[in-house]
């Protein structure tokens, strides 16, 4: 799990003389006097960047255990781009997913990507969920857990399987030992209660919420627990709440395999550039031959079979990475040159300390949220069955989640999100999304009575609004402006065409090097740099 966007600001100590804002009245917003009194709970300080000159940062303290509100406190880091319009619609809380994604950088991106007239009407609020990033404590169960070279993900021998199981057990044990008192309180329900604590600290009667990926589940659970506090709700790339989390991960494997096939088909289209042939099946076979070779001799001493999978999985999240991955692939196959492959690994897959933190929260939340099979033979049976049909990510994903088979805390029960008490809700889903397959959007649309579903037909990217599709963004802007959603007669309320697939780098002179890919070239690259992978 790699978060490639730089963190824009950190938690700030509550200091006298820091910035506070008293917004004008808005529908569902408190009076000015109420806001002024409550805003004192959040002491904003300037933490401007070149891209966001009005960015502010702060922190709030919340109970570690909400059953003991007077007990130990933890700190949540916040960021804010304040409203500038006389028409004020309240706070818009944004979340990039994960679980484990840092959201402080997302506020600046959302505020800068929405139409100016729309963004000006909101305080766009980013936050690091409990345990994440600049929130304290920030968890890091086992630093260096993903250091290369790891065992092959495919357990073709008992020795390989034993090595991978031992790694998963060691990670779970490390989390339980290092964070014994904290771990039971790292879960979606606690994070939802944190959201409401943030709402109170902001002095808002209701919140507006915009979440991507896991952030859709977080938002839906918040809406279930606090429907009276929801003003507007936008969910993009939607988790299927009926499969959290074991079944959802198995479903991902099939979808990612399809996306990998879409990638090889794209490579075949540009044979004049990559010289790997025009048959997608033969190109896919070439990729697996590369994988087998790297399992025996890792590229640069870093990229073995598991690391190769890690490197190409991001291409399933965002096709803007395809040209870089294709260059690395072709260079290896045609020239036996590993330099671009190693560079691709370092850009898209190498794990730093923020990635270690993100993975620690990912496992802590998912393993605690719902029950997982505790019998490893169940995992073995299910994942071999998937592998036979969809080999690309099956075992890699299994080991990513395997600590949950040995997790030291007991499991909670998932929250049913069915809801008829909300105002109109706006949902966005791409038909070929791999990380959160299409059925999740359809399911949530049915469960949220007043929701509207906008579909990107043929789209395969994960996180589709504010990513360059003007059709999708128009629906988003309209909803945030006046609360209106499209209404259709069938399952889908509105459809947008997908964006065109990228072209090879030779046709993109402004993106001439792989190292400049994440977060710099387009709004799509910037967004996906913030969203990261595995979330």
Give 434's DSSP letter.
S
Per annotation, catalytic residue among 128, 433, 473, 493: 433
Residue 27 annotated as catalytic: no
From the CB of residue 470, how many other CB atoms can be counted at a distance below 10 Å? 9
What are the CA-CA distances from residue 156 to residues 163, 292, 384, 394 (Å)? 12, 12, 10, 13
Q: Give the whole-angstrom CA distance, residue 437 versus residue 254.
A: 9
Residues in Cβ contact with 362 at an 8 Å cutoff, skipping those fewer than 6 apart: 1, 98, 99, 100, 534, 535
Phi, psi of 65 (to 5 degrees): -120, 110
Residue with tokens 């979340």: 95
Q: Give the whole-angstrom CA distance, residue 372 versus residue 367.
A: 7
Per annotation, catalytic residue among 4, 153, 213, 452: 213
What are the CA-CA distances from residue 267 to residues 98, 393, 528 (Å)? 29, 19, 21
The answer to whether the beta carbons of residues 532 and 342 sit under 8 Å apart is no
Phi, psi of 124 (to 5 degrees): -85, 115
Instruction: Please say whether the dihedral angle defined by the alpha carbons of residues 52, 54, 59 and 62, taken in this order, is positive or negative.
Output: negative
Residue with tokens 């057990």: 169
Instruction: Output the 3-class SS for 240-259.
Output: CHHHCCHHHHHHHHHHHHHH
Strand partners, 75: 61, 136
Strand partners, 155: none
Query: Helix 280-296 crosses helix 246-269 at what angle (to 10 degrees)?
Result: 110
For residue 496, give the H/E element and its range.
strand 494-497
Tokens of 399: 């080991």
Q: Give the whole-angstrom CA distance, residue 299 versus residue 365.
A: 34
Pairing of β 425-430 and β 73-81? unpaired
Per annotation, catalytic residue among 83, 185, 462, 528: 462
Residues in Cβ contact with 367 at an 8 Å cutoff, skipping those fewer than 6 apart: 172, 403, 404, 407, 409, 411
Q: Give the whole-angstrom CA distance, residue 107 versus residue 204.
A: 18
Residue 83 in 3-state DSSP? coil
The answer to whether the beta carbons of residues 341 and 299 sit under 8 Å apart is yes
Q: Per-residue b/e over 320-331, b at no fewer than 16 CB within 10 Å?
A: bbbbbbbbbbbb
DSSP state letters, 339-364: HHHHHHHHHHT---HHHHHHHHHHHH
Residue 433 annotated as catalytic: yes
Q: Which residues are catalytic?
A: 213, 433, 462
């Amino acid at each position: 799990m790699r978060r490639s966007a730089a963190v824009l600001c950190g938690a700030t100590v509550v200091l006298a003389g820091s910035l506070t804002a008293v917004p004008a009245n808005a529908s569902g917003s408190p009076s000015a006097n109420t806001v002024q009194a409550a805003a004192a709970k959040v002491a904003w300080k300037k933490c401007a960047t070149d891209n966001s000159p009005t960015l502010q940062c702060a922190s709030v303290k919340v109970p570690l255990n909400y059953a003991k509100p007077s007990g130990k406190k933890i700190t949540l880091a916040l960021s804010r781009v304040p409203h500038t319009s006389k028409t004020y619609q309240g706070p818009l809380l944004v979340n990039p997913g994960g679980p484990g994604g840092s959201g402080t950088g997302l506020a600046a991106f959302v505020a800068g990507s929405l139409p100016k007239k729309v963004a000006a009407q909101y305080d766009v609020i980013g936050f690091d969920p409990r345990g994440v990033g600049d929130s304290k404590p920030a968890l890091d169960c086992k630093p260096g857990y993903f250091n290369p070279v790891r065992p092959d993900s495919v357990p073709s021998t008992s020795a390989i399987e034993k090595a991978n199981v031992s790694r998963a057990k060691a990670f779970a044990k490390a989390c339980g030992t290092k964070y014994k008192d904290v771990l039971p309180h790292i879960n979606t329900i606690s994070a939802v209660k944190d959201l409401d604590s943030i709402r109170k600290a902001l002095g808002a009667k209701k919140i507006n919420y915009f979440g991507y990926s896991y952030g859709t589940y977080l938002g839906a659970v918040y809406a279930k627990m606090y429907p009276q506090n929801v003003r507007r709700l936008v969910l993009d790339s939607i988790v299927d709440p009926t499969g959290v989390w074991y079944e959802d991960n198995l479903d991902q494997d099939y979808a990612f395999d399809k996306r990998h096939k879409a990638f090889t088909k794209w490579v075949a289209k540009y044979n004049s550039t990559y010289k790997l042939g025009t048959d997608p099946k033969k190109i896919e076979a070439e990729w697996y031959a590369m994988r087998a070779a790297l399992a025996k001799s890792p590229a640069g001493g870093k990229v073995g079979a598991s690391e190769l999978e890690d490197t190409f999985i991001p291409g399933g999240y965002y096709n803007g990475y395809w040209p870089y991955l294709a260059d690395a692939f072709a260079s290896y196959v045609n020239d036996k040159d590993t330099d671009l492959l190693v560079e691709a690994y370092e850009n898209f897959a190498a794990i730093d300390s923020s990635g270690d933190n993100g993975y620690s929260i990912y496992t802590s939340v998912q393993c605690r949220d719902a029950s997982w099979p505790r019998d490893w033979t169940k995992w073995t049976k299910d994942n071999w069955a998937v592998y036979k049909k969809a080999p690309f990510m099956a075992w890699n994903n299994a080991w990513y989640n395997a600590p949950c088979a040995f997790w030291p805390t007991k499991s909670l029960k998932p929250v049913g999100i069915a809801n008829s008490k909300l105002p109109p809700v706006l949902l966005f889903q791409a038909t070929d999304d791999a990380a959160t397959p299409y059925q999740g959007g359809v399911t949530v649309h049915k469960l949220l009575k007043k929701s509207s579903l906008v579909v990107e037909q043929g789209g395969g990217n994960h996180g589709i609004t504010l990513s360059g599709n003007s059709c999708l963004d128009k629906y988003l802007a309209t909803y945030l402006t006046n609360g209106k959603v499209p209404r259709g007669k069938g399952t889908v309320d509105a459809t947008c065409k997908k964006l065109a697939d990228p072209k090879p780098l030779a046709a993109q002179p402004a993106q001439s090097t792989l190292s400049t890919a994440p977060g710099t070239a387009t709004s799509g690259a910037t967004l996906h740099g913030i969203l990261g992978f595995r979330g």
